[in-house]
Amino acid sequence: MRCTPEARAAALRDIDERDLRRRRTPAEDGRVNFCSNDYLGLARDPAVAAAMAEAAQRYGSGSGASHLVSGHGAEHEALERELAEFTGRARAVVFSTGYMANLGVLAALADKRDLLLADGLNHASLIDAARLVRSPRNLWYPHADAAAARALLDVHAPAAAAEGGGAFIVTDGVFSMDGDLAPLPALAAAARAHDAWLVVDDAHGIGVVGADGGGCCEHFGLDAQAVPVLIGTFGKALGSFGAFVAGDEDVIELLIQRARSYIYTTALPPAVAAATRRALRIVREEAWRREALQARIAQFREGAARRGLAVMPSTTPIQPLVLGGERAALAASGRLAEAGYRVTAIRPPTVPAGTARLRITLSAAHTPQQVEGLLAALDAAMREVAA
């Protein structure tokens, strides 16, 4: 785009004409929020807030520097130890955001000789991470199609190996817009057959999926050998901010030494690390939160089926209702807002063209009455949009 006022105005008109303009509205508007990623209700938990406040009084409001200068402190050290134990890995490292963690992982571990296989519906941060590597063997397999990934490995992995490269399979654990789980056991088997790395971003699985909230690896019974690089975030089920990568000693040390998105940014405030430690403890000790969440998911899905609302087949807190067109998704979101419910319309390029949707998310903090109210409002909104 040319850097002229006319060009900028034309670009914005194009966004408007395609019903793709995004707008920010204050979250504290009195509506019941059904599009947050706060799956366990920890973002406003008093114990988590108290841990943050206490640490802020002790350490101040910021870390003051990057981890490798002077920003790494006792709270970061403790959090990394606890994350390694929680995930069953030898070591973990904390990043300032999930986006930066994903960028850092591939930039530090892969190079132009390597084969990169990525799920077609991976998060934008994984897409950008693969592009940064600039490998000529940057390939996509159809969503959740482990057989296709295996076939691509069979064809392209030998050529990468002949040039001194390796192979990576990169996938979300829980897909953020569809709510389904990656076929990790089949992907792990494909990776093992070609001595490839399986890299899993389990941002929406950690804390939620698995009997103890250990995420998709726990759910499928996959250990550190099957999934050598595990990425997770704190801003979803843990209710705070930031991210981590867990792996063996050498993997984590390579990230510390090579990942530019780790080296050249300010460390998380110690107070945020302290809050995350408290949230992680709650995840481990308060299983009732996952039980309550599963009850709300079952309630929503049963109610949706009874009303003929065709939500996607997801067992996670992410319950998408695909409407197709951008205008229909915006209209339905607007009707729900008028009824007192916040459900954002998700449109391209976040999702593929023709699959605009309402991305409904559930939380342990929701009450059965709130879920029933949403279902009634959703039913009415769908009827109005279809009329």
Known catalytic residues? 176, 204, 236
Helix H or strand E segment including 13: helix 5-17
HSE, side-chain direction, 13 A CA sphere, residue 58? 14
State the Cα–Cα distance between residues 127 and 138, nearest whole angstrom.
Answer: 10
Pairing outcome for strands 91-95 and 243-247: antiparallel
Q: Which segments of 96-178 are extended strands (E)? A: 115-119, 137-141, 167-172
Among candidate residues 306, 307, 304, 308, the one with its CA nearest the CA of residue 360: 304
State the Cα–Cα distance between residues 54 and 273, nearest whole angstrom.
Answer: 12
Other beta carbons within 10 Å of 193: 12
Spell out the alpha helix ranges (H) of 67-145: 74-87, 98-109, 124-133
In angstroms, what CA-CA distances link 162 with 115, 183, 223, 247, 375? Answer: 11, 28, 29, 27, 56
Rg (CA), the chain: 21
In angstroms, what CA-CA distances link 185 with 124, 190, 191, 233? Answer: 23, 9, 10, 22
Contact 191, 154 (CB under 8 A): no
Supply angle C-alpha 103, 108, 112, rounded to 5: 95
Residue 344: DSSP 8-state: P
Contacts from 143-146 at CB under 8 Å and sequence distance 24+?
Answer: 143/119, 143/175, 143/178, 144/119, 144/175, 144/180, 144/182, 144/183, 146/183, 146/186, 146/187, 146/189, 146/190
